[in-house]
Amino acid sequence: MKVLFLDQSGKLGGAELCLADIAEHFKQTSLVGVFDEGTFPQYLRQLEIPVKIFNKQTLQVQKASSLLAGLKSLNQLIPLAAAIAQCSRQYDLIYANTQKALVVGALSSLLSRRPLVYHLHDIVSPEHFSRINRRIIITLANRAVLIIANSQASRDAFIQAGGRADCVHVVYNGFRSEDYANSIDSAAQRQLRSEVLSLDSNQSDDTSFIVGHFSRLSPWKGQHVLIEALQYCPENVTALLVGDALFGEQDYVQQLRQQVKSLKLENRVKFLGFRSDIPQLMSACDLVAHTSTAPEPFGRVIVEAMLCGTPVVAAAAGGAIELVDPGRTGWLTPPGDAKALAEVITTCQNQPDWANVVADQAKAQAVRRFNLETVNADIARLLGNIKQQKR
Ligand code: UDP
């Protein structure tokens, strides 16, 4: 199977990490086309996955604005689509992994007559997209022969927005559980904890209860909810915010820093920026909190925490509801509810044995449910069906 994967982003977000895992499976015969240089193509090269940068200029599009407006003019879009169409003639199909890749991929597929596949990593709802963007996504996605939705929630929102139900298949993200389990021994874990906790000297005896938050800094990812929750938690509860503002959300970063200052939580909140040692950091945390205020399409970090054996609390909306069985494999709290989050944090702190039982159950289930090999086999089968239909 020769696949031309397309992704707009030079940056390494959840959709790109998911694509890298799929593209690695097909790397002998496939190519990943990216519209911008950056950490994502660098990551692909490290994995020896063939990658081609199609456009040195980033297509400037914000999710909230119009996709068309962002594309500035057809002067930019058409040469890009033509170059991709030309390239796609050597491949069996075009696999668009993001919205801008869908726009360009749909046009290229029209030009080269290669089938279009769309991997839907988003909830196409008013909370995430403007009306015009929703319409563009649905219209173009409906041209695809196959849509792979990353959760039931993404699938349902897509259909509710007017998407075709007959070509959508839900395939969860897959993970290599061995990358997460036992990624760090207890001595290295203590060392890492003291490194990240070096907030001030009197915390060096590490009596802290560390709540990790792993996500790009963005208003809907809800880091502010965790900061707010800290004020209702015991003094030794500390939050690690792991992740960066990937898409220029600098105002939000300022807002978070201001919130920390005004709540006098400087010693209890640590901004770690973007990190590549996620399994080690998650394993070193006592609890992982996911706090998205809008429905999360999937929530890789929830599964990753489970695979690390770290208890996880998630915001009860979107894909998170499909991942967490409350009280058995984690906890769910209403999105934006800082007090409810504080209650779960405090319970986990006070009842570590129970929290560990829940974490163990979550890990055992996650290893089975989100196995990368199974996921890649499912995707290969779905793509194989398209090739057969063409014959
Ligand atoms: N992540 C990372 N470094 C960071 C913060 C996050 O590698 O500093 C990874 C995280 O482990 C997860 C992905 O980024 O695999 C985020 O995926 P998720 O589905 O949680 O959110 P998205 O970014 O796709 O909205």
Report how far ligand 1's centroid is from the alpha carbon of 224 (Å): 17
Pick from 278, 288, 312 the residue to mutate for probing ligand 1's pocket: most ligand atoms within 8 Å of its CB.
278
Q: What is the mean pLDDT of residues 121-130?
A: 95
Q: Which H or E run contains 195?
A: helix 186-197
Ligand 1 atom 10: residue of nearest CA:
301
Q: What CATH code is assigned to 3-174+371-390?
A: 3.40.50.2000
**Greatest pairwise CA separation for the chain in angstroms:** 70
- d(CA 125, CA 133) in angstroms, rounded, equals 10
Ligand 1 atom closest to Cα of 221?
25
The confidence score (pLDDT) of residue 72 equals 57
User: Mind listing the pLDDT tens digit for each residue in 263-275?
Assistant: 999 999 999 999 9
Atom of ligand 1 at shortest range from CA of 274: 8
- What pLDDT was estimated at residue 70? 57
Nearest to 300 by CA among 65, 1, 8, 18: 18
59 pLDDT more than 70: no
Mutate to test the pocket of ligand 1, among 244, 301, 306 (most ligand atoms within 8 A of CB): 301
Q: CATH 3.40.50.2000: which residues of the chain?
A: 3-174+371-390, 177-369
Specify the residue with its C-alpha closest to ligand 1, atom 21.
Answer: 14
Closest Cα to atom 13 of ligand 1: 14
Q: Ligand 1: which atom is nearest the Cα of residue 242?
A: 8
pLDDT value, residue 360: 98
What count of other Cβ atoms lies within 10 Å of the Cβ of residue 96?
29
Task: Provide φ and ψ at 197, rounded to 5°.
Answer: -85, -5
Question: Distance, CA 215 to ligand 1 centroid (Å)?
Answer: 5
* Per-residue pLDDT tens over the stretch 80-91: 999 999 999 999
Three-state DSSP class for residue 179: helix
Handedness of CA 305, 346, 186, 357 (dihedral sign): negative
Residue 308, CA atoms < 13 Å, CB-side half-sphere: 26
**Residue 89 identity:** R
From CA 295, how far away is CA 298, in angstroms rounded? 9
Instruction: Specify the 3-state DSSP secondary structure of 332.
Output: strand
Atom of ligand 1 nearest to the CA of 15: 24
Query: Which of 180, 173, 356 lies closest to 281 in space, CA to CA?
Result: 180
Give tens-digit pLDDT for 129-162: 999 999 999 999 999 999 999 999 999 999 999 9
Pick the CATH number of 177-369 from 3.90.550.10, 3.10.20.600, 3.30.390.30, 3.40.50.2000: 3.40.50.2000
Q: Which atom of ligand 1 is nearest to the CA of 282?
A: 11
Q: How far apart are CA 244 and CA 250, in angstroms?
A: 10
Estimate the share of the chain in helix, then strand, then coil, as percent rounded to the nearest 5.
45, 15, 35
Rounded to the nearest 5°, which phi and psi values hold at 109? -65, -35
